[in-house]
Copies of this chain bind each other. A is one copy, B any other.
Amino acid sequence: MNIYEVAERAGVSIATVSRVINRSAKVSSATRAKVEKVLEEMEYTPSAVARSLATNATRLVGILCADNRDPAFAESIFYAEQTLAAEGYDCLMGNATGDLKQKDYYIKGLLERKADGVLMFGASFEDEGEQNLLRLAAKRMPVVMVASSTKAKEVYQVTSKEDMAVASIVKGLALSGHKHFAYLYDATSPSARIKLNGFERGLEESGLGGANGAAVRVAKGFHGGFTGARWLIDHGLFFTALLTSEDALAAGALKALIQSGRRVPDDVCVFGHNNSELCLCTEPSLSSVDNRMEELARLGVRTLQSAMNSSKKPLQVAQIPAKIVQRDSSVPFDVE
């Protein structure tokens, strides 16, 4: 059921068939009707692959993300997918959580499939090998990284200043009299490191030494937060403020703290990160930092779109401020 069979059955040339399919040129309404009838009858479906080969254009964009299960990324992917679909782009999705080999697989795949562009959510490209891969990709199609950064300057980047927000929280709490901080994080990705940096910078800028802040790497999710907080408690570490790199971590920590008799926020203030719906569900509700993923996703998609239309090159790097959301797990303070 290709264009030839249609042409034959309709008694016209393949060019004409192609024309009616694509509305590309004038076709007399008589032949048009004739062809369309055959199209219907045969349940003809054009071959996108043949078309792509002929036109050298796929309407395909890659969505590479660190983990589509992360609610923030899921939200971004959803938005990106729906927006791009509305413009007739299809999304090839991949989770590049792992090592270089995995990233290589996805990037090469997109290159081979001649994708029109890539949108990355939280995918980290740190070392030399990864950056080279990124450059290779950027040479052939626009690459937009959302919520993660890289030294490779060939790619577009949009991030929010989460580290500033974290630092601001520490400073705000310090001004309120807090002197002993703890930080729970679950990954060592660049963006995770950036948040951690914010924590440490906050301490420094508050005139507090490293001894005032314990940063502990824990397992992912509620369980990681729970056991992490238990560990802190069991080891007798004293802290009146607990920050985390993830809401689920904070939710777990919250449970552990309360089970151990701590009052939140009176004894210890707790902060999550990402401002997910989870924050509303805990008791007390969770203060968090809103990294404004929707904004980032929006900006990322727009950037990719204009880059693909190669109309005007947008900025290489964009940053928007993150927002601190104070709820019941912390005592209110002013943010400078």
Q: Is A52 an interface residue (CB 8 A)?
A: yes
Q: Is A216 an interface residue (CB 8 A)?
A: no
Given A69-B74, A74-B74, A92-B91, decide whether A114 and B82 contact each other with a Cβ distance below 8 A.
no
Cβ A282 vs Cβ B280 within 8 A = no
Q: Is A25 an interface residue (CB 8 A)?
A: no
Contact pick for A105, options B48, B78, B85, B248, CB 8 Å: B85
A69 to B78, CA, bound (A): 7
Contact pick for A95, options B81, B95, B111, CB 8 Å: B81
Cβ B111 vs Cβ A45 within 8 A = yes
Chain A residues numbered 123-163 whose CB sits less than 8 Å from any CB in chain B: 136, 140
Chain A residues numbered 271-324 whose CB sits less than 8 Å from any CB in chain B: 277-278, 280-283
A248 to B82, CA, bound (A): 23
Give chain B nearest CB distance to A84 CB in angstroms: 10
Q: Smallest CB-CB separation from A221: which chain B residue?
A: B277
Chain A residues numbered 211-259 whose CB sits less than 8 Å from any CB in chain B: 221-223, 248, 251-252, 254-255, 258
Q: Is A94 an interface residue (CB 8 A)?
A: yes
A106, A140, A254, A280: residue with the most chain B Cβ atoms closer than 10 Å: A280
Give chain B nearest CB distance to A233 CB in angstroms: 18
Q: Is A167 an interface residue (CB 8 A)?
A: no
Task: Name the interface size band of chain A.
Answer: 35 or more
Cβ A281 vs Cβ B91 within 8 A = no
Q: Smallest CB-CB separation from A283: which chain B residue?
A: B283
Q: Is A332 an interface residue (CB 8 A)?
A: no
Contact pick for A281, options B71, B74, B108, B222, CB 8 Å: B222
Q: What residues on B are CB-neighbors of A258 within 8 Å?
A: 283
Q: Smallest CB-CB separation from A140: which chain B residue?
A: B45
Cβ B53 vs Cβ A277 within 8 A = no
A266 to B105, CA, bound (A): 54
A223 to B140, CA, bound (A): 45
A63 to B58, CA, bound (A): 19
A71 to B75, CA, bound (A): 11
Q: Mark each residue of chain A from 30 to 68: 1 if its CB lies under 8 Å from any CB of chain B, else 0.
A: 000000000000010111111011000010000100011
Q: What residues on B are CB-neighbors of A210 within 8 Å?
A: none
Cβ A90 vs Cβ B94 within 8 A = yes
Cβ B93 vs Cβ A91 within 8 A = yes
Q: Is A77 an interface residue (CB 8 A)?
A: yes
A140 to B69, CA, bound (A): 31
Q: Smallest CB-CB separation from A282: which chain B residue?
A: B281
Q: Is A113 an interface residue (CB 8 A)?
A: yes
Cβ A48 vs Cβ B113 within 8 A = yes
Contact pick for A53, options B50, B91, B283, CB 8 Å: B50
Q: Is A209 an interface residue (CB 8 A)?
A: no
Q: Is A112 an interface residue (CB 8 A)?
A: yes
> Can you list 12 A-B contacts with CB-CB less than 8 angstroms, sorted by A residue number?
A45-B108, A48-B114, A49-B58, A68-B74, A68-B81, A71-B71, A71-B74, A74-B74, A248-B281, A251-B280, A255-B281, A283-B283
Q: Which 10 A-B pairs have the closest CB atoms?
A: A283-B283, A251-B281, A93-B93, A48-B112, A48-B113, A69-B74, A49-B52, A222-B280, A45-B111, A74-B74
